[in-house]
Amino acid sequence: MAWNWELRDWPEFVRDRPALAAREARFLEQAGVLIGTSRHISEEDRINLSISVMSLEAIDTSQIEGETLDRASAQSSIQRALGLKADQTSARPAESGIAEMMVNLLTTSGDPLSDAMLHRWHRTMLNGRSGLKSVGGYRQHEEPMQIISGASYAPKVHYEAPPSSAVPGHMAAFIDWFNQTAPTGAAPLLPIERSGLAHLWFECIHPYKDGNGRIGRAISEKALAQGRQRPVFTSLAGALLRHRKAYYRELELASATLNADRWLNWFADIALEAQDLSLSQVEFMLGKARLFDRLAGQLNTRQDKALLVMFAEGIDGFKGGLSAKNYMTITGAPTATATRDLADMVAKGALVREGELKSTRYFLKLS
């Protein structure tokens, strides 16, 4: 079987641009909505939103590769990487490394792509990992770079990348294309097409021994951010995680052809879903501001603390809702006080109550 990099016209990907036109237009329109809506939240909430989205993306992009990160550790690592005060939560190398990569991605989103930038991401992302060679540099091993599954005695080869000796040349062409197709480049492309092609092309080169998926998704995020001409994260990894099996299948199919239509059509839907997730995050923070403005001076310190903890859990909130027991743990309130506080928050429109007796749960009420 021939892989796409072995075909004569590599890397000239064929695509039907008019087929993406409507979704490119929707992406740019929604980007304006996203940026406009974010202007209505406070600077503090904007920073908290960036931290929340980056930590979720760090967790999701790692989860795609089967690695589970601790959310609190990821958030505190991102706060420290941004130079902000953070909880004294001990961070493993995995969390601190991906956090530094995410912050660098955000703060340099408008900068040209380079070998040095990619190597820095690779080095920080794999911070503290042992047993890996060429950390912070392209792979150099002589054996084939293959993506395989199944038993060792009968492996299934899903893809074989170019040999290590060819990687520098492939990457030089890729980086030049990426910078030339930026909004300010000599041959600009629309955001979804550029982001999707960048991800596919990079994954086909597979230039690193490990970490290619996470870096490839970071490159796609960079392309989408440059397309908006503003350093705003799209929840791309979160959307891809929701469709992980299809994601791997589409990449595998695309690796055997230079016709990128199927891949780009699939990726376009993912990019729009990701942007919708990001807009939901912004609206969530706007709902938080409205709720606290409306109830200013009406809640006691226990109630304020519980609401802040609930908002800190993000748009999905407490799994299964807030229970009276959760409230008592958060605030230190005795049973009777917790019951009164929660009933008062329902009456004032801060929470919605669902269930009865021990099954009673409380959810944020955001209009």
Q: How confident is the model at residue 151, as a pLDDT? A: 77
What CATH number does the domain containing 336 carry?
1.10.10.10
pLDDT confidence band for 289 (50 / 70 / 90): confident
Q: What percent of the chain has pLDDT over 70?
A: 95
- Three-state SS string over the chain comes to CCCHHHCCCCCCCECCHHHHHHHHHHHHHHHHHHHHHHCCCCHHHHHHHHHHHHHHHHHHHHHHCCCCCCHHHHHHHHHHHCCCCCCCCCCCHHHHHHHHHHHHHHHCCCCCCCHHHHHHHHHHHCCCCCCCCCCCCCCCCCCCCEEEECCCCCCEEEEECCCHHHHHHHHHHHHHHHHHCCCCCCCCCCHHHHHHHHHHHHHHHCCCCCCHHHHHHHHHHHHHHHHHCCCCCCCHHHHHHHCHHHHHHHHHHHCCCCECHHHHHHHHHHHHHHHHHHHHHHHHHHHHHHHHHHCCCCCCHHHHHHHHHHHHCCCCCCCCCECHHHHHHHHCCCHHHHHHHHHHHHHCCCEEEECCHHHCEEEECCC
Q: State yes or no: pLDDT of 237 exceeds 70.
A: yes
* Same domain? 160 vs 302: no
Per-residue pLDDT, averaged over 290-304, amounts to: 93
Tell me the pLDDT tens digit for each residue of 125-163: 987 665 666 788 999 999 988 888 877 777 888 999 999
Q: How confident is the model at residue 128, as a pLDDT? A: 60
Q: State yes or no: pLDDT of 233 exceeds 80.
A: no
Q: How confident is the model at residue 129, as a pLDDT? A: 66
Q: State yes or no: pLDDT of 262 exceeds 90.
A: yes
Per-residue pLDDT, averaged over 67-85, amounts to: 87
- Reported pTM: 0.87
Count of the separate structural domains present in the chain: 2
Q: Is residue 94 part of a domain?
A: yes
Q: What percent of the chain has pLDDT over 90?
A: 61
How far is Cα 103 from Cα 74, in angstroms, rounded to an integer? 12
Structure tokens at 46: 């904007």
What's the whole-number average pLDDT of the chain? 90
Q: How confident is the model at residue 157, as a pLDDT? A: 87
Q: Is residue 290 part of a domain?
A: no
Instruction: From 226, 256, 285, give the residue that closes a domain.
Output: 285
pLDDT confidence band for 281 (50 / 70 / 90): confident
Q: How confident is the model at residue 318, as a pLDDT? A: 75
* Same domain? 62 vs 132: yes
* Same domain? 281 vs 324: no
Q: Is residue 293 part of a domain?
A: no
Lowest mean pLDDT, pick from 142-146, 149-153, 235-239, 279-283? 149-153
Q: Is residue 292 part of a domain?
A: no
Q: Is residue 202 part of a domain?
A: yes
Cβ contact 61:214 at 8 Å: yes
Cβ contact 95:58 at 8 Å: yes
Tell me the pLDDT tens digit for each residue of 213-232: 999 999 999 999 998 877 66
pLDDT confidence band for 1 (50 / 70 / 90): low
Q: State yes or no: pLDDT of 354 exceeds 90.
A: yes
Cβ contact 139:150 at 8 Å: no
Q: Is residue 291 part of a domain?
A: no
User: Domain containing 358: what range?
Assistant: 298-364
What CATH number does the domain containing 85 carry?
1.10.3290.10
Structure tokens at 267: 């990726």
Q: How confident is the model at residue 336, as a pLDDT? A: 96
The closest alpha carbon to 220, from 238, 199, 205, 242, belongs to 199
